[in-house]
Amino acid sequence: MKKNETIERYLQLAAEEARKGVEADHGGPFGAVIVHRGEVIATAHNEVVHRNDPTAHAEILAIRQAGKVLGRFHLEGCELYCTGEPCPMCFSAIHWAHLDRVVYCNTKAQAAEIGFDDQFITEIITGRQPDPIPFLHLPDPACSSVMRFWDEKEDKILY
């Protein structure tokens, strides 16, 4: 099978997963597939509505599943195929997971056209819009103590 045919097959799997989610009323039309060394190890669709969980995006659920399958939290050697360009939350999770590559079909602009517009988050992150949620920095000795405890822990697992 040619490389493009393989990519198309993974994207087709992501689309099938997205369709399953839409048919089940689990959430928006988003599906994700994670591949490790040519093997599909995780598939997921958006489950925001089903789980009442705003973080239950297809990419996040697939990353969680892949971590369990591989038994590790860094997913080097893995590629993510998804039906939509990742939102800011998923974009961050992709980087935290250290995925090797992301291939997506629909753009953020296309998602915005059907009601999934995350531009407001980008505007807040880049400082072009004020954050409507107040964030209050309140230093506390107990919290600082936990940070020191972690820093001094000799057998910690860095990530």
Terminal alpha carbon distance of the chain: 36
Name 34's bridge partners. 42, 80
Angle at 108 between CA 40 and CA 28, to 5 degrees: 60
Annotated active-site residue 76? The verdict is no
Cα–Cα distance for residue pair 61/89, rounded to 1 Å: 12
Cα–Cα distance for residue pair 117/92, rounded to 1 Å: 17
Angle at 89 between CA 83 and CA 90, to 5 degrees: 35
Q: Which residue is catalytic, options 5, 8, 16, 59?
A: 59
Question: How does strand 101-106 pair with strand 78-84?
Answer: parallel
Which one, of 39, 37, 78, lies nearest residue 59 by Cα? 78
Residues assigned a catalytic role: 59
